[in-house]
Structure 1
Amino acid sequence: MTRTRPRRAAVLATAFAATLLAASATAASSATASTATGPGTGSPSQPAAAQPNDSARAAGIRSAGDAWMGWSQDGHGRPTPTPKQAAQASSLAAATQTSGIDVSKWQGNVDWATYWGQGKRFAYVKATEGTTYQNSYFAQQYNGSYNVGMIRGSYHFALPDSSSGTAQADWFVGHGGGWSGDGKTLPGVLDIEYNPYGATCYGLSQASMRSWIAAFTSRYKALTGRDAVIYSTTSWWTTCTGNTSQFSATNPLWIARYNTSPGTLPAGWAYYTFWQYTDSPLDQDYFNGDLTRLRALALG
């Protein structure tokens, strides 16, 4: 059976319980930071300071590496679209767009044949987070989607306060984020969004955040020859980058919005390349074009 990440309703604790959990984690971190390992990875955890904040805990994030693409759309937990919203989004986009999904460790070993049978033609798989975490299910998810016929790619969950954009691009490319011109491998994704471990903008100014993103995307292109896709929400992008249009001419946009349309896009992007429109029963996405155009993106 395909595993799913904790739903907000299932993990939401009382404020008092959340406070106790946070306090307990903080107290334990100094004793375990030097020996702790990421879940199922054998890799060191993030530094002790990088503990999930209350919103992240309410969403089911318990430790470094637990974050996934779109864990929150407003910094206060992940909204759940109504079935009507998801159906409307699906019907609006289905005629001209290509359906896909994105997955992380929370889905475990994925039954790719089932999703292929549902018409999913592409998949993005979480590969890395920061400079220490690797998805322990990456091989099954990345290779399995490819083997069933999907065009697939990988994504990196950015932690701009833990290391440089250059270092994180190196880690990503070295651990699943590479690209090849086989026609079935999509360019990697920089997943940059609400911080599950601390301040919304990771303690960076808007100018510093723009510089961090530029360092990551420049390094990724130098290593792979491709411009990374940028995944974010309009609200986070506006708050933390000043709604810059700096990357709109080079980097495809993946917009996250759980509603009947993608809504207002960040500055400079006249259209989106991908749209994450629901998380029910798992993250579902559209590529803004038919399968021929998706293949063209894969080929570069």
Structure 2
Amino acid sequence: MRRPVAVADGRIRMLATGGVLAALSLLTALGAVDSAADDGPPSGDPPVAEESPARGSAYMGVGVLAHEGVQGRPTGTRAAQTEGVDVSSHQGDVDWPALWKSGVKWAYVKATEGTSYRNPKYGQQYDGSYDVGMIRGAYHFATPDSSSGTAQADYFVDHGGAWAKGGRTLPGVLDIEWNPYGSTCYGKTKAQMVSWIRDFTERYRARTGRAAVIYTSTAWWKQCTGDDDGFGAVNPLWIARYADSPGPLPAGWQYHTMWQYTSTGPIVGDHDRFNGTLEQVTAFAEG
């Protein structure tokens, strides 16, 4: 597996190209989610089921698990990969020392969703991971049907998604994936979705000086953006695929920076691999 890093003049530069129980309770509700191509705003989307989850309850990979949830484990060497986890309020208070002892060296914590939800466990999770020595960052669960990309980027930065130098804070992540609340593509055309993502990423970069990581699955990206290739040159890719390899990547990215490979890991369900060494994780955090 090729790593999303380049070494030049002695410096490492990251190439931008580069919870199951809750999900089971969502599967019935997600039956109402359409799997059509969403070429335009749907006029006949079925109503969201009464058991649809409450806004704010989504977490990284919830839609991926429901739509693409074939579980697997990575094959091949881990020598050039670094283990990580992603958490949200679904995990509650996380046993960070146990994760650290198991070999997890970095973490992402859900901070926000839309422009009204903040993770009530954010402090224990974000600070707790840092306290045991992990390099950590925050992610935002996107709901493009509720407000603009610009507004959601601002809400994210203002409520836990900011970035700081020092090699211990990872850049913020835009979690854009299958909609757990209704229409697959949030009622947007492909062009409208691309515009929404661009508004979010540009605003985040203007506010923090860092390019946001985009977390998505190849299948969703193809369906809801038309496999747009306009982000790979700037935004690092976090690919979601629960299998033994990351598989084909969305257009525009030659490499993935991170890979969410399972939702059934030990201690914490969602486990990830950084496509590089721990030193490269640190370099990525430093910017």
What TM-score bracket applies, with the shorter chain setting the length?
0.7 to 0.9
Post-superposition CA distance 1:236-294 (Å, at most 9, x none): 00011110110000000000000010000000100100000001130000000001111
Query: What is the match of residue 273 of structure 2?
Result: 286
Deviation at 1:79, TM superposition (A): 1.7
In the alignment, is residue 223 of structure 1 matched against residue 238 of structure 2?
Answer: no
2:258–2:273 contact (8 Å) kept in structure 1: yes
Deviation at 1:6, TM superposition (A): 2.1
In the alignment, is residue 295 of structure 1 matched against residue 282 of structure 2?
Answer: yes
1:186–1:297 contact (8 Å) kept in structure 2: yes
- Partner of 1:231, secondary structure, is strand
Distance across 1 between alignment mates of 2:212 and 2:236:
7
Distance across 2 between alignment mates of 1:64 and 1:14:
13
Distance across 1 between alignment mates of 2:199 and 2:27:
36
Instruction: Give the partner amino acid of 2:191.
Output: A
1:100–1:218 Cα change, 3 Å: same
In the alignment, is residue 208 of structure 1 matched against residue 198 of structure 2?
Answer: no
Post-superposition CA distance 1:24-75 (Å, at most 9, x none): xxxxxxxxxxxxxxxxxxxxxxxxxxxx945x95xxx62111100010227x
Number of aligned residue pairs: give it: 252
Query: What is the match of residue 157 of structure 2?
Result: 173
Query: What is the match of residue 162 of structure 1?
Result: 146
2:84–2:105 contact (8 Å) kept in structure 1: yes
Unaligned runs of 5+ in 2: 1-18, 33-46
Instruction: Give the partner amino acid of 1:106.
Output: H
Deviation at 1:198, TM superposition (A): 1.2
Distance across 2 between alignment mates of 1:127 and 1:299:
20
- Partner of 2:249, secondary structure, is coil
Alignment of 1:107-146 (within 5 A): 107-146=91-130
Distance across 2 between alignment mates of 1:203 and 1:13:
20
Instruction: Give the partner amino acid of 1:163.
Output: S
Structure with the greater relative contact order (CA < 8 A, sep ≥ 6): 1 or 2? 2
Query: What is the match of residue 68 of structure 1?
Result: 59
Distance across 2 between alignment mates of 1:234 and 1:210:
15
Query: What is the match of residue 188 of structure 1?
Result: 172
Distance across 2 between alignment mates of 1:132 and 1:242:
29
Distance across 2 between alignment mates of 1:114 and 1:186:
21
1:274–1:288 contact (8 Å) kept in structure 2: yes
TM value normalised by structure 2: 0.83
1:204–1:280 Cα change, 3 Å: same
- Partner of 1:92, secondary structure, is coil
TM value normalised by structure 1: 0.79
Runs of at least 4 residues of structure 1 off by over 4 A? 7-15
Query: What is the match of residue 6 of structure 1?
Result: 21
Q: CA RMSD in A?
A: 2.2
In the alignment, is residue 275 of structure 1 matched against residue 228 of structure 2?
Answer: no
Alignment of 1:5-84 (within 5 A): 6-9=21-24, 53-54=48-49, 62-73=53-64, 76-77=66-67, 79=69, 81=71
2:89–2:119 contact (8 Å) kept in structure 1: yes
1:170–1:219 contact (8 Å) kept in structure 2: yes
Deviation at 1:92, TM superposition (A): 2.1
Distance across 1 between alignment mates of 2:284 and 2:69:
30
Deviation at 1:78, TM superposition (A): 6.1
Distance across 2 between alignment mates of 1:8 and 1:122:
24
2:53–2:180 contact (8 Å) kept in structure 1: no
